[in-house]
Amino acid sequence: MDLKTASAIRRLRLVSAPEAVSFLLLLVCSVLKRTTDFNAVPVMGMVHGVLFILYVIFWLDAWNRTKWSAKTGIWYFVLSVLPTGGFFAERRLKREAEDAVIASRARKEGIVNA
C-alpha cells in the first residue's frame, strides 16, 4: 500500500467516528426539540452535515485509491447513513490498515512475494 492510499484510509477512519457521534447527537436534539423547549437542531444539523460531506469526500477518495470492490465501497457508504455505522466503519478501516502494514512489511523483508 502506498502512502497516498494509507492516508486516504486514515482520513476516512478519522472522520467516521465523529460523524457517527454527530448523527447520534442530532437524533437526540431532534427528540429534545419535540419534547422540550431546547432546540439545538440547526447547530447539530450543520455540524453533522459538514462531517457527512467530509465522510463522503474521503470515502470516494479511499474507494478510488484502494480499488475496493463495489460491495466493499457501498458497504462503507451504507455504514455512513446508519446512526452507529461510523463506529463499525472506523473499526473495520483500522483492521484493514493494520493488515496492509503487516503485508507491506512482509513484502519488504522478503517473507511474502506479493
| 99, three cell numbers | 493488515
Asked if residues 86 and 79 have their Cβ atoms less than 8 Å apart, the reply is: yes
What was the pLDDT predicted at 26?
96
Please give the chain's pLDDT, 114 residues, in tens. 677 888 889 999 999 999 999 999 999 999 999 999 999 999 999 999 999 999 999 999 999 998 899 999 999 999 999 989 999 999 999 998 888 778 778 877 877 665
Q: What is the pTM of this model?
A: 0.84
Q: What is the DSSP letter of 82?
A: S
Q: What is the pLDDT of residue 112?
A: 63
